[in-house]
């Protein structure tokens, strides 16, 4: 969470936005998504390498041991718990339970698609339901980098950005 806060603060500072600017507006103007999506995808890639890797490697045996202890409620591994949470959030418990029954490239693509879709739906919901986004939602439909951020000079970019997000 601290990394996400730092990232959003960086985006707000870069666009010269107020600290209270809703995060959905910051993501909407910058076209960025939260870092947790990339982090979770990297975790999935690492997990796939372990579960499909060489059964003679030490990391494979440690994973199996941690997983068994986790499944038996003997020990709760934060990493194993987070992996399970990612699969549950993406409604892919079957992959978590039987990873070798699925193509690894499909797993990566599907997790990426679902994590991005979950974020996009939340972003749209935030824009629709937040009172502070009442004007913003009239002209912002897509989560994409706004061209003016790249084309205008610094002063005009800051003024237009502040206008877009409703800062007086």
- For the stretch 107-133, pLDDT in tens is 999 999 999 999 999 999 999 999 988
pLDDT at 168: 42
Q: Which of 136, 115, 114 is nearest to 126 (CA)?
A: 136
C-alpha angle 124-157-2 in degrees, rounded to nearest 5? 55
Q: How far apart are CA 22 and CA 152, in angstroms?
A: 23
Helix extents (H) in the chain: 2-14, 23-30, 35-51, 58-71, 78-89, 93-97, 104-129, 136-139, 148-151, 154-164
Task: Please tell me whether the overall predicted TM-score, pTM, comes out greater than 0.75 for this model.
Answer: yes
């Amino acid at each position: 969470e601290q990394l996400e806060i730092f990232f959003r603060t960086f985006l707000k500072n870069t666009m010269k936005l107020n600290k209270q600017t809703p995060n959905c507006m910051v993501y909407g103007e910058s076209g960025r998504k939260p870092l947790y999506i990339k982090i979770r995808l990297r975790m999935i890639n690492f997990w796939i390498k372990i579960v499909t890797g060489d059964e003679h490697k030490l990391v494979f045996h440690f994973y199996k041991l941690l997983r068994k202890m986790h499944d038996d409620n003997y020990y709760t591994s934060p990493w194993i718990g987070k992996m399970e949470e990612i699969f549950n959030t993406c409604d892919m418990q079957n992959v978590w339970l039987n990873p070798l029954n699925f193509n690894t490239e499909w797993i990566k693509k599907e997790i990426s698609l679902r994590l991005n879709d979950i974020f996009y739906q939340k972003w749209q919901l935030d824009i629709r339901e937040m009172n502070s986004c009442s004007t913003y939602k009239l002209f912002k439909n897509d989560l994409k980098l706004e061209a003016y951020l790249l084309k205008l000079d610094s002063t005009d970019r800051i003024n237009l950005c502040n206008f877009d997000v409703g800062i007086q």
